[in-house]
Structure 1
Amino acid sequence: MEVNETNRPLTEEQTNAAETLVPTVEQSTENVKYEPKHTKEEVIQRLKEINENACEADKQEIDLLKQTFYKLHKSEQEVNRKTFIEAGGDANSFIPQSDPLEPELKSILSEIKEKRNSMIAAIEKEKEENLQKKLDILEKMKSITESSEDAGKNYSEFKSLQQEWNEIKLIPANKVNEIWKTYQLYNEKFYDMLKLNNEFREYDFKKNLELKTHICEAAEKLADEPDVISAFHQLQKLHQEFREIGPVAKEMRESIWNRFKAASTAVNRRHQKHFEDLKEQEQNNLDQKTVICEIAEAMEYDKFTTFTDWEDKTQEILALQAKWKTIGYAPQKMNLKIFERFRAACDEFFKRKAEFFKTAKENMALNLEKKKELCEKAEALKDSTAWKETAEILAKLQKEWKTVGPVPKKYSDAVWKRFIGACDYFFEQKAKATSSQRSEELENLSKKEAIIKQVAELEKSEVYDETIGEKLKSIIAEWNSIGFVPFKEKDRLYKEFRNLVNSIFDKANISATEKKLNSYKSGLSKEANLYKEREKLVRIYERIKNEIKTYENNLGFLNSSSKKGNSLVNDIARKIEKLKNDLNLTLKKIEAIDETMNN
């Protein structure tokens, strides 16, 4: 009888190939996600569940739960801080409160850590003990392979050593390949020594082929397993079982190995593609979240000057937050960072908004006081009979009213009615006292309406010759010579007259300076404070002269030979030319005032 080569191990080439197909468990769980916790109580409860079986706990989940707890705690502190500030407290005086759940959290984490450390120490100790056991088995196998006795007599003992070897599991990772190769070597030597009969050998090969065929079939079915991660872990177990089964007939060894390797490759490719797709999706999520952060960070706060501006932008921020919630995880190393970036941008927005509303309320309170003062001034003047002087003062108060900003909405109507009521009362009394002027104002109204008709006819002309400008000047002079009209008609008449004159200016292509001058002249009237206007224009005239002189002096310091210098020279020259035009226009305005005052 010949000796059967039962349990002949894989060749070194096959073993190395198998090892390259099997990633470590740590790699396969890199991107596993966990159910998010929304409260600190949920975090504590989950940690308690983990603590019940701490030896099988996932450190990644524990770290994530710890981060979640402190993020929630920090968010609560931010809310408390904002509430404290909004209640009038000083931001620098805010003292964060300790979390009552934190001691319990630390206690549970400490228990889990102790249990895991004990487990790890026990596992390492077990690995070292297993390593020594396997080294002892190898020594016995070596002794058998070097024995001169009939190998058949040692067959049962060798089989027992193989069984004992397979029952020993974990050993230090850095010794796995080395000790496995030695084990393979002694197996090969032993089976080469065996001289079992063909019938026994074929039976053993057939049994091993059946077992390995079943493993191949199981591995092939994993290609259709919906859960890619589960399929990968099941494959690791099948690889371990495949290793532990003895050899098959020599002519079947390569084919059965290739079949198992092909099935393994299919599972590993699905596993690899799953994580590649996951990484691609996470990167896409990161890109989307980065864009949202950039939008939130690009808020132009200096341009938000009204309540409406801030409310509009608040809706934008809320829309960004809603969009953020629809986007999945970013890559693990960036997920927390991108969230902190977005939260910082949102916090900055709402901080700025709170500051604006606080400042706006303070300003509105000051504006209310200013408007109350204007009301008091108007009320003090409403019974005055110095009609002209008082009317001018009230007109100035009305202009000043327009420069004062808004007041709180609940006071807005009341303070306005108080102010306009005092003004209206004075002008009504003035109208009654000056009723003798009524007929003259109505006559002036008729004259100005006649002039408007005249200008309207002139505006309809299709051909404009050089006399148009002179006619228009004569009409404007006549308009300015007419006295007061009823107060309620004044703005309407002036608007109609000005629009018609501007239309004629446009059609006749009168120069911009002349147009401004004529428009200015049309607005002059003796009832205005012409002395004050003239003094203002004289000051403007002197200022423009000084600016022209300064620019002309600066030209002497510039080197126009360089490109930059030449550009600056041209720019200054254009400014000087514009200033000279403004100077000429200002001088003509002064002359117009003088002419009006002398008529």
Structure 2
Amino acid sequence: MSEQEKNLSSEEKEAKKATQDAPAKLENNTDSTETPESQKEEETETSEVTKEKSAASNEEKKDKENVVEETKEDDAQKELDDANAEDSEDQDVGRRHEIAKKDYESMSLDELVIELENLLKSEKVQAIREHVSEIKVTFDKQFNEIVEEKKENFLAEGGNIIDFHYSSPIKKKFNSIYFEYREKRDAHYSQLKKNLNQNLQARLSIIEELKNMIGSGESMGATFKQFKELQERWKNAGPVPKNEYNNVWKNYHHHVERFYDFLHLDREFRDLDFKYNLDQKLKIIERAEELAEESDINRAFRELQLLHKMWKEELGPVAKEFRDDLWDKFSEATKKIHQKRQAYFEELDQEREKNYEVKKEVVEQIKKLGNKEIKSHNDAQQRIKNIEKLREIFFSAGKAPRKVNDKIWDEFKTSVRDFNRKKNAFYKELKKEQFENLKKKQELLKIAEDNKDSDDFETTTPVMKRIQSEWKEIGHVPRKDSDKIWKRFKKACNEYFDRLHKEKNKSSDEEFNNFIAKKEFIAKIKKLEFSANKEEAVSEIKELISQWGSLGHVPNSKRYIESKFNKALNQLFNKIDIDKKDAELIKYENRLHDLDEINDNNKINKEASFLRKKVDETKDKINQFENNLQFFSTQDESNPLVKEVIDNINKLKDELEMWKEKLTKLRDL
């Protein structure tokens, strides 16, 4: 068995079996020919053979004027010829058809990268060409849509298009794998090109030998034997470049027919060969008619390709009176399969209509989100989340029918781009408003810093309280300035009110005595041991906190004692192994007691503001982590990165509950 026969796919073997032992791959071409020299007729040649030679000579002259009569091929034959030409240089065409193509359009960027990597690792590079091409087109389409959105945001924030650049780890990984594919592919096809050209030269050489056989003067037996040897060499010559496929075969086929027409063979030799070819072509027609009833359309088409190859490449001519009739029957079966294949694709498009309807609905929803005016930052963020969900639905919906697939993609891109422009316009206006707020807060900051060292407490105190109240009424400022300006304002106000309180408590020996008492109290509780009963231990700690609160206030300069007390409490909590959140809430009882004792609305409001800020900050962190989680193709916790993000989210949720509970307790106060 030849190496080519060993590499045949199951479908090739089945087709091979259906037509017995036909030769392997051949190619086709048209070429002008030369009129053969007169041959010395053998003594046994009859006058009938002489007439046949004369008729054949006239036919050769016609062939010389136009070797191949150009005819318009119908769609079915053209489709098969194109497919066979495409496959002519692909030695792994059988394997290529066996590798299932997935619905790449429904995959995320991460999934596309994984699929490309798996194909490159597990398959031959020449067998995945079409798969890689579709994956790259889909990846580029999705990634470019993200880049366009990032560019819109960048320009909306005042950036210069020259400075815009966007990349991502997933893009870098895709490029790396695709570069590896191209290197392997180029190396393969470089060697393949060399082999194909060598095969081409070998086949052209065989054609030349075939041309020279006609009129060579050899005996009938020797000439026929030489012809059979050329046929064997031809079928083992290997594939040629696809652009030469049809031309080389037509040239070869033409000279094979000339051989039968011009060579003075004994009728028995010729008729036996004609009969063999006739039998094989009848079997091919029978198999083609069976394939017309095959339910697996793609399988039927691929086997039909093989039958056409056998018909054209492996079998010689039949008697002239059968040629047209046989070809008509074969063409009729071919057309039936072609029609069923076209119907199959139409049915597939009908099924994809459902995908198209889903995608149309997604586009309509995005348009609705883009048409409504954005009223607030929260409103914008909610719409952004909705857009992301709709994007996921669009990409996971699968392909739309071929005639509208590009159209719906363009509509999707346009609708998303329109929403992004509206969103960017909103934030541009919001930023303008925030800059106005920044100016107002800067004016209040100047007043606070100008008065923080004032000793005229009676006049300055109302001013400082008024600007604190006005500060709260002013809206948000740009995020990059928010913390910085707030810390400066807070520092100026604290410095003033600390001095005010210090002045009020300057002569207060009571507060200093409280400090001494609290210091001794801390030393005492550090030595305490608790009951093994956790509830009793917690109750004892709460009593200690209550006692601490009853010891009264300390001078402002000694307020650090509160921090030492909290550290001592932490040591106590460690001894009884209490939950961190519960411990924080228990300690907060001490803070609430202080605020209650002070009975200062400003301090209480400040504490409430701090807690609300912590609630908002924690929520933002949770949202950020949840958004990050969406970038993973799977949320399986076996992935360490995914687990880390989920752990952070759970930890922040616990913190959020703690801040909320503190705020609730403060409101009760």
Query: What TM-score do the two structures reach when normalised by structure 1?
Result: 0.47
Higher relative contact order (CA 8 A, sep 6+): 2
The higher radius of gyration belongs to 1
Query: What TM-score do the two structures reach when normalised by structure 2?
Result: 0.42
